[in-house]
């Protein structure tokens, strides 16, 4: 069930295996963290050589790090801002068998390891200027003039705040936003849960009541000329007191047709396909990278006694919390392609201009 991958240099005597049946973006091995089970990265590092080689012992280091890097131009001067924050770190020292000091004995040796991720650990982020990743680095120490032998393995982590479904699972109250447009038209926007997970199809319900008595539109039909739903992501990157902000439009769905017309208001549910990672990041708060999100409904409204040219803009904005998906209930087939050591993809992911 667990695919194995060699280091990029096939002559290296090291390899690392992550015990997971799941794959994440960039063909990385994937780990899931949920409210009832902290995420765990399990695997082993293997030394395998058909002959004695020069070297010492083996170090293994794990770390979770959020990082931000961007540039600004001041005339002919370019300033690079670079900040990083290590969220979790662990280290192991493994002793290899030696024929004599400085000469590792030929053969195969495996070293098991396990990392329990911190509670509320963030999901992985792949970005052009801000990112958050989980990385293991195994290093075989060697004396000069020999170079150290290293192998680096990244792991994609999905951190979900969604509880497990089951008979003891309490029903979740829907998230609702009430408002009155220009003090004349009451509305209600709702969706089933307070957390939206990446890759979900989100049913968004929009309900308008009848015009209020003070509106002057009593007895008139409400007509929606055009409408669009947008999902936006807001990024803030920090370097000491310097902050860079970016806005990215993740999704835009025109909804011009299919709106009912009536004197007593109207109601409609629209399915919104929330993109998966890496195109979209989870809501994240670290000292270097912050990701927040909004769903926006923008429409032009008039009544049956006014013309389309007289339509007014109605804008509704909702702050939403995006979380990682829960682990799949159906395990993938046992014969999976080998996963990647590091990101195997272009910069099509979470990028803001």
| pLDDT tens per residue, range 19-76 | 998 999 988 999 999 999 999 999 999 999 999 999 999 999 999 999 999 999 998 9
CA distances from 238 to 66, 246, 285, 321, 353 (A): 11, 12, 11, 21, 17
Q: Which pLDDT score, from 0 to 100, does residue 7 have? A: 38
> What band does 4 get if pLDDT is binned at 50, 70 and 90?
very low
Statement to judge: residues 82 and 14 lie in one domain: yes
Question: What distance in Å separates the CA atoms of residue 60 and residue 139, rounded to the nearest whole number?
Answer: 6
330 domain residue, yes or no? no
Statement to judge: residues 148 and 186 lie in one domain: no
351 domain residue, yes or no? no
Question: What distance in Å separates the CA atoms of residue 191 and residue 82, rounded to the nearest whole number?
Answer: 38
Name the pTM for this structure: 0.87
Q: Which residue would you say has higher pLDDT here, 192 or 168?
A: 192
90 domain residue, yes or no? yes
Q: Domain of 270?
A: 175-323
Q: Which pLDDT score, from 0 to 100, does residue 251 have? A: 96
Statement to judge: residues 30 and 99 lie in one domain: yes
Q: Contact 141/56 with Cβ under 8 angstroms?
A: yes
**How many domains, the chain?**
2
Domain stop point among 134, 159, 184: 159
> What band does 347 get if pLDDT is binned at 50, 70 and 90?
very low
Residues in the chain: 353
Using only C-alpha atoms, the chain has a radius of gyration, in whole angstroms, of 27
Mean of pLDDT over the chain? 87
Q: Contact 263/156 with Cβ under 8 angstroms?
A: no
> What band does 351 get if pLDDT is binned at 50, 70 and 90?
very low
How far is C-alpha 341 from the geometric centre of its chain's CA atoms?
A: 19
Domain stop point among 126, 159, 192: 159
Q: Contact 295/318 with Cβ under 8 angstroms?
A: yes
> What band does 353 get if pLDDT is binned at 50, 70 and 90?
very low
Q: Which residues contact 14 (CB under 8 A, 6 or more apart)?
A: 7, 45, 46, 47, 48, 58, 138, 140, 149, 150, 151
Q: Which residues contact 5 (CB under 8 A, 6 or more apart)?
A: 15, 16, 17, 153, 338, 339, 340, 341
């Amino acid at each position: 069930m667990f695919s194995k991958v060699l280091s990029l240099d096939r002559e290296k005597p090291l390899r690392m295996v992550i015990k997971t049946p799941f794959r994440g973006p960039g063909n990385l091995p994937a780990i899931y963290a949920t409210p009832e089970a902290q995420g765990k990265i399990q695997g082993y590092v293997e030394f395998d050589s058909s002959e004695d080689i020069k070297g010492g012992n083996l170090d293994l280091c794990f770390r979770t790090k959020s990082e931000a890097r961007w540039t600004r131009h001041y005339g002919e001067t370019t300033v690079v801002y670079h900040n990083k924050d290590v969220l979790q770190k662990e280290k192991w020292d493994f002793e290899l068998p030696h024929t004599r000091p400085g000469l590792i004995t030929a053969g195969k040796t495996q070293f098991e390891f396990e990392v329990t991720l911190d509670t509320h650990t963030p999901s992985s982020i792949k970005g052009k200027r801000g990112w958050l990743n989980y990385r293991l680095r195994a290093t075989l120490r060697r004396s000069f003039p020999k170079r150290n032998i290293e192998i680096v393995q990244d792991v994609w982590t999905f951190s979900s705040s969604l509880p497990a479904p089951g008979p003891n699972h309490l029903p979740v109250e829907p998230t609702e936003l009430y408002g009155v447009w220009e003090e004349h038209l009451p509305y209600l926007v709702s969706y089933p849960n307070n957390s939206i997970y990446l890759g979900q199809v989100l049913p968004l319900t929009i309900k308008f009541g009848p015009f209020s008595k003070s509106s002057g539109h009593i007895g008139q039909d409400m007509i929606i000329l055009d409408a669009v739903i947008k999902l936006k992501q807001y990024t803030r990157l920090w370097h000491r007191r310097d902050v860079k902000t970016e806005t990215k439009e993740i999704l835009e769905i025109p909804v011009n047709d299919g709106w009912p017309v009536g004197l007593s208001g109207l109601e409609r549910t629209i399915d919104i396909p929330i993109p998966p990672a890496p195109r979209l990041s989870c809501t994240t708060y670290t000292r270097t990278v912050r990701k927040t999100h909004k769903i926006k409904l923008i429409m032009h409204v008039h009544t049956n006694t006014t013309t389309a040219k007289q339509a007014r803009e109605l804008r509704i904005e909702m702050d939403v919390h995006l979380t990682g998906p829960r682990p799949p209930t159906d395990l993938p087939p046992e014969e999976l392609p080998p996963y990647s050591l590091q990101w195997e993809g272009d910069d099509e992911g979470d990028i803001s201009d």
